[in-house]
Structure 1
Amino acid sequence: METSAEIVKTDILTPDDIRRLIDEFYAEVRRDDLLGPVFAARIPAGHWPEHLDTMTRFWTAALLGQAAGYRGNPGAKHLYLPIEKAHFTRWLALFGQTVDALFAGENVAEMKVRTLRMGEMFQAKIASARANGGLSVL
């Protein structure tokens, strides 16, 4: 009887690891019935490579503490999107599934905590802006 080799998952340790995660995750997002249309409305097909590069630079700096040339304000980018709690819940679920399918380790756990905190912060700022007549709180 043949046995298949068990796949050993490693932690997220390099920018290449982050890029692999970003590519896989956003491929899932683009196929998702709830999230896909939101992204499709904001990121034209030809601009996906730029978005994936930006997300890779963001997470390389945020998780690995490596200078990656990220410049931006992620909160401001999300403030006026037509998104609700269900979108954040789905985003976090897909992210957790993707990262767990590819990696295991301390940085995986840290990244999941950070995504949860960012989601909570974005939701609070979006709610506040909506309650203030659309005025940005960022």
Structure 2
Amino acid sequence: MNKADIQTVDDIKVLVDTFYGTVQKDHLIGPIFNEKLEGHWPAHLAKMYTFWQTILLDEHTYNGRPFPPHAQLPIEKEHFERWLSLFNQTVDALYEGPTASEAKSRGSKMAALFQIKLEHIRKSPFPPLI
């Protein structure tokens, strides 16, 4: 059976809710997210809806800087790998098509970029300007 592609903000909400539901239960990254977002999950999910709506549907609803909130988290390469694996599994379980593929591509690029930025910040002798 063919799956639909990501086409609407409701599709984005299903993706985000399903993904972060999995993240919250994950033994590796769940504790990091749950500690940081305790009591703030609804606001975080709403922000993620607008982020992915802007990225995937070209509907400019997100205003923010996605990297700074992650800069102080105790995350390493294995955390990014798990995040990306769970994200790709969620996309694949729910959708297929060009926008679903774009979601996975953007997730991969974002994870790689965040890792590079974190490595640079951690190796720099100067405090970050974030």
Unpaired runs of 5+ residues, structure 1, are 1-5
Cα distance in 1 for partners of 2:87, 2:111 equals 12
Structure 1 residue 65 and structure 2 residue 84: aligned? Answer: no
What pairs with 1:15-34 in structure 2 (closer than 5 Å)?
Answer: 15-34=9-28
TM-score, scaled to structure 1: 0.90
Judged with a 3 Å threshold, the aligned counterparts in structure 2 of structure 1 residues 137 and 127 are, in CA distance, closer, same or farther, namely farther
Unpaired runs of 5+ residues, structure 2, are none
What pairs with 1:107-118 in structure 2 (closer than 5 Å)?
Answer: 107-118=99-110
What pairs with 1:1-138 in structure 2 (closer than 5 Å)?
Answer: 6=1, 8-44=2-38, 46-68=39-61, 70-133=62-125, 135-136=127-128
Query: Offset at 1:55?
Result: 0.2
Q: CA RMSD in A?
A: 1.3
Bigger Cα Rg:
1
The one-letter code matched in structure 2 to 1:111 is: A
The one-letter code matched in structure 2 to 1:114 is: R
TM-score, scaled to structure 2: 0.95
